[in-house]
Structure 1
Amino acid sequence: MWFKNLHLYRLPRNWATDTARLEEQLAKLTLQGCHATDPKSIGWVPPRAGGTLIHSVNQQWLLALGAEEKLLPASIVKRFASDKAKEIEEAEGRRIGRREMREIQEAMTLELLPRAFIRSRSTFGWIDPINGWLVIDSASPAKAEEFLEQLQKSVDGLPARVLKVIQSPSAAMTGWVASGEAPAGFTLDQDLELRSTEKATVRYVNHTLDGEEIRQHIATGKIVTRLAMTWNDRISFVLNDLLQIKRLAFLDILKEQADGQGENEDERFDIDFTLMTGEVAQLLDDLLVALGGEPVAAN
C-alpha cells in the first residue's frame, strides 16, 4: 500500500475518536452498487477484501471509498435519441422541437442505463489521528473532494480542514530555485514548471536547474508552480503551488526494508502500510518546517 498523489487535510492532533465509533458512522453509507437506472453510486468499502471498513495498523487508519459508474457515452444516447425522433417524425408527420428532443434524450438515457457497462474504482484515504492528518491518495482533485465530502456526510462535525502554511508553496519554491539551495533534508531534482502573471508557462523535464536561463525567468517575474524534490534520499515527489504532492515515489533504500518481510500477503500489506505512513508523516513534518510552519491558530 504505497500512496502516489497526496491531498493534505488537517485534523486535530491526538484526535479523540476511535475506530469502533468511526466504523459505525461509515457503515451508514456503504457502497450499495448501481441499481438499474442509477448512473453512479458511491460508498465506503473495506480497504482489504473481506476486512472491516477501517484497516488499522499501529494506530494508523486506512479507508476506501468505492464507486460504481455506468459507462454510457453521450454520443450513444444522442444516436438512439436521434433514431427515436425520426420514428416520431415519420409516424406523426411533424418536426421534433428542442424541448421534446431533450425529453427524448432523457428517456433514452433511462432506457439505456440498465444495459450500460459498470466501471468500479476505489479512492484510498489515510487518517493519522496522533499527528492530525487526513491524506487522500488521488491524482484527481475532484475525486479527493468526493472522498472528503463523503467522509463529512458520514462523520458529523468532522474537524478536517485544508492544510494552511505561513509561506506559500510558490514563493518558497521560487526562492529555493533562485538560490539553488533546497531546505534542510531535501534536494532539488530536475523537473520544474514556471508561470508568469499572464499564465505563460515554461516547463523543464530532466533538466539541470543550475542554468542562468532559469534564474532569468525568475528575474522577469515568473514563479515556480511545480518542483521535483527528494526527501532524505528516501522519497521523491513533485510539489505544486496548491500544496499537493504528486508522483510520490518510495526509493529503493526504503522499499528494501520491506522486501522479504512478512509471511503472507496480509502481513506484507501491513508492513508496507506501516513503513509508508511512518515515512510520509516525517516528510510532512519537514515540509511544514520548510514552508514556515502553520499559522498559530491552525493547531
Structure 2
Amino acid sequence: MFAKNATILQLPERVDFNALESALTEFPLKEVGSQEAFSFGSMPLVRNSETWSLRSNDCLLIRFGKEEKNLPSTVVREALEEKVAQIELIEGRKVGRKEKADMKDELIFTLRPKAFTKRSDVWMHIDNMTKVIVIYSTTATMIELAFKHLQTMLGSFPMVPLQTQVSPSSLMADWLQRNAVPAWLETGSECDIQDNSEDKARITFKALEPLSEDVTRHLEQGMSVKSLALRWPEKISFTLHDDLTIRKIKWDDAIKEAAFNDSQGGGLSDLDASFTLTSLTIRQLYMSLASWFEIMEKTDIQEQAA
C-alpha cells in the first residue's frame, strides 16, 4: 500500500486495536439505498477476503468505503430548466425561487433511483507508538466521513489536527533563504509561494535545483511558502504543505523492491510487506515533523485551552 497523499492527525491516547477490529465487521459498507445520497462503512482490505485489518510495528491498517449515487448536476439542471420553461410557456408566469427549489428537490427524488452508483475508498493506519492516525487522503469530505465512522464504531474517537509552535510556512521559508533544509532532506523541483497582501497572489516555481534566487528574493519581500517539494533519498519524495498535509508522495524504488522481496506473493502478502515498510517510514517522517515544527502534544493543547 503505497499512499500518494496523507493527512496526519493526533490522538490523545492509544487506540484499543482489539475493539476497533471487532467493530469493523459490525459496520460494513452497505449498498446505497434508492433514495440515499451515499453510504459509508468498513471494507475488507482485499476484495472478497475476510481480512479487515493488518497489524505491524504497533500500527493498524484499515479501509473504509463510500458508495454514492452518481447524479450529475448538469442532468438535474437541464431537467429543471426544461420543467420551468414548460410552466412559463403554458401558464404564462414566472417561476419563483422557492417553487424552483421545491421542483429541484422533486426531480432529485425522481432521478436518484435511476442514477448509477460509484464506489471510492479511503485507507488509513493508526500508529499507537506516536499516537497519530494517518489518513491516506487530503479530501476534507472523506476525512470527515472517516472520523464520523470511527466515532460510530467506538462511541467516541477524539482526534485533532496537528498544532505547531513553529509556523511551517516560516520555517520552510527559512530553509530556502539559508539553503539549510534538514541534513537528510533535499529540496525537490517545486515551490509554491503566496503574497500576504489582500489579493493573495501565488507563484509556483519549478525546476528548483539549484535553489532559485527568484524564490529567495520574493521571500525576502515578505511572501510565504505554501508548499515545498522535498526528497528523502532512498525513501520518498513528497510535497509538504503549510498545513502539514503531505501530497504527491512518490516512493523510492528501494522501498518498493524491499517490499517485493519481503512478500511471499499474493494480494495480502504484498499488502502486508508494503505496509510494514511504509508505516515505519511515515512514522520516522512524522517524528521529524514533530521535532522541526514543535508539534504540540495533546496534553499541551488541552492545557492551553483550559
SS at match of 1:208: coil
- From 264, 273, 283, the counterpart of 1:271: 273
Q: Is 1:215 equivalent to 2:216 in the alignment?
A: yes
Q: Is 1:119 equivalent to 2:118 in the alignment?
A: yes
Q: Any idea what the Cα deviations from partners look like across 1:83-139, whole Å, max 9, x if unmatched?
A: 445566677x45363233332222121111111111110011111122212000114
Q: 1:298 to 1:80 in 2, by over 3 A?
A: closer
- Normalising by structure 2, we get a TM-score of 0.87
Q: Any idea what the Cα deviations from partners look like across 1:150-173, whole Å, max 9, x if unmatched?
A: 223332232322122221110110
Q: 1:212 to 1:17 in 2, by over 3 A?
A: same
- How far, CA to CA, are the matches of 1:202 and 1:97 in structure 2? 45
Q: 1:262 to 1:24 in 2, by over 3 A?
A: closer
Aligned equivalent of 2:175: 176
Question: What is the correspondence of 1:41-56 to structure 2 with a 5 Å cutoff?
Answer: 41-49=39-47, 50-56=49-55
Aligned equivalent of 1:154: 153
Question: Contact 2:41–2:65 (CA<8 Å) still a contact in 1?
Answer: yes
* One-letter identity of the residue aligned with 2:108: T
* One-letter identity of the residue aligned with 1:45: M
Question: Contact 1:137–1:144 (CA<8 Å) still a contact in 2?
Answer: no
Q: Is 1:192 equivalent to 2:186 in the alignment?
A: no
Q: Is 1:250 equivalent to 2:251 in the alignment?
A: yes
Question: Contact 2:138–2:245 (CA<8 Å) still a contact in 1?
Answer: no
Q: Is 1:297 equivalent to 2:295 in the alignment?
A: no
Moved more, 138-147 or 30-39: 138-147
SS at match of 1:69: strand
- How far, CA to CA, are the matches of 1:222 and 1:162 in structure 2? 25
Question: Contact 1:166–1:294 (CA<8 Å) still a contact in 2?
Answer: yes
Question: Tell me, which stretches of 5 or more residues in structure 2 are unaligned?
Answer: none
- How far, CA to CA, are the matches of 2:190 and 2:87 in structure 1? 58
- How far, CA to CA, are the matches of 1:215 and 1:283 in structure 2? 26
Aligned equivalent of 1:10: 10
- How far, CA to CA, are the matches of 2:213 and 2:261 in structure 1? 46
Q: 1:57 to 1:148 in 2, by over 3 A?
A: same
Q: 1:279 to 1:222 in 2, by over 3 A?
A: same
Q: What is the deviation of 1:28?
A: 4.5
- How far, CA to CA, are the matches of 1:162 and 1:139 in structure 2? 12
Question: Contact 1:42–1:66 (CA<8 Å) still a contact in 2?
Answer: yes
Question: Contact 1:231–1:283 (CA<8 Å) still a contact in 2?
Answer: no
Q: 1:100 to 1:202 in 2, by over 3 A?
A: closer
SS at match of 1:159: coil
Q: 1:80 to 1:196 in 2, by over 3 A?
A: closer
* One-letter identity of the residue aligned with 1:168: S
Aligned equivalent of 1:35: 33
Aligned equivalent of 1:107: 106
* One-letter identity of the residue aligned with 1:291: F
Q: What is the deviation of 1:214?
A: 1.8
Q: 1:228 to 1:45 in 2, by over 3 A?
A: same
- Normalising by structure 1, we get a TM-score of 0.89
Q: What is the deviation of 1:68?
A: 1.1
Q: 1:12 to 1:84 in 2, by over 3 A?
A: closer
Q: Is 1:129 equivalent to 2:128 in the alignment?
A: yes
Moved more, 39-48 or 168-177: 39-48
Number of residue pairs the alignment of both structures matches = 296
What percentage of aligned pairs have identical amino acids? 25
SS at match of 1:66: strand
* One-letter identity of the residue aligned with 1:101: K
- How far, CA to CA, are the matches of 2:8 and 2:213 in structure 1? 34
Q: 1:252 to 1:298 in 2, by over 3 A?
A: farther
The CA RMSD measured in Å over matched residues stands at 2.3
Q: What is the deviation of 1:204?
A: 0.7
- How far, CA to CA, are the matches of 1:75 and 1:262 in structure 2? 46
- From 267, 284, 287, the counterpart of 1:285: 287
Q: What is the deviation of 1:75?
A: 2.3
Question: Contact 1:226–1:241 (CA<8 Å) still a contact in 2?
Answer: yes
